[in-house]
Amino acid sequence: MPRVMLHAHKLTLTHPQTGKPLMITVEPPKDFLELKEWLAKKFGRKPYLLPA
């Protein structure tokens, strides 16, 4: 890969004003999904590494 493959899928932070938990969820970038599919084709799907 041409870059560092680091991505936070879900973050939970404390809201600075209310003090309540604030959960932010983001889908993985397209290149992550492409790499996941390539790895699954090359090495087989490993449920513990590549959930569906």
Host H or E run for residue 39: helix 30-43
Q: Is 44 helix (H, G, I), strand (E, B) or coil?
A: coil
pLDDT of residue 51: 53
Q: Is 21 helix (H, G, I), strand (E, B) or coil?
A: strand
Q: What is the pLDDT of residues 1-49, one digit of tens each?
A: 788 888 888 999 999 999 999 999 999 899 988 988 888 888 887 666 6
User: What residue ranges do the domains of the chain occupy?
Assistant: 1-52
The predicted model scores a pTM of 0.59
